Structure 1
Amino acid sequence: MANTKSAKKMVRKIAKRTEVNKARRSRMRSFIRSVEEAITAGNKSEAQEALKNAEPAIMRNSQKGIMHKRAASRKVSRLSKRVAKLG
């Protein structure tokens, strides 16, 4: 348990930050899910549109420290590759 005034404040700050990060992570996963669903349905134009919306969200999260930069790039790359394969 936090003892000092500053430690108690840090606990509050961390809790707030955790909520913000959870919301951002959830939003990013929703974008990714929309791309996945379009790929599964075989709809290339819808998948491209979904990817165009998902990519900035993923990269923004990597800049905010929610996801590692390379993990974000890898995720975008793999999604792009799968969308490109649709015929």
Structure 2
Amino acid sequence: MEKVLDRKIKLIWDFKGPNAAKTAEHYEKHLQEYIFHEELKFDTTGFNHLSDMHSITFLIVAEFEMIQARDDLRPHRGEIYQD
């Protein structure tokens, strides 16, 4: 069984409107910079275009890093990540 603090957490930012796709892609660059500066355990980021008017950007963090990343980056939501 996985230890609680060893779980991966997916932090998610929602972008809506006609510029959602470009905004989501751009925001991913800032998340990659954050990973580098904070020396996070994982370096997984990405973006998904859910529709013409809704895109998301995400960052995977270790659970023990989640509180600090949440406070620094203020994601819209989060979920346990299953790879």
TM-score normalised by the chain length of structure 2: 0.31
Instruction: Indicate the structure whose relative CO is greater, using CA pairs within 8 Å and at least 6 residues apart.
Output: 2
Which structure has more strand as a fraction of its residues? Answer: 2
TM-score normalised by the chain length of structure 1: 0.30
Which structure has more helix as a fraction of its residues? Answer: 1
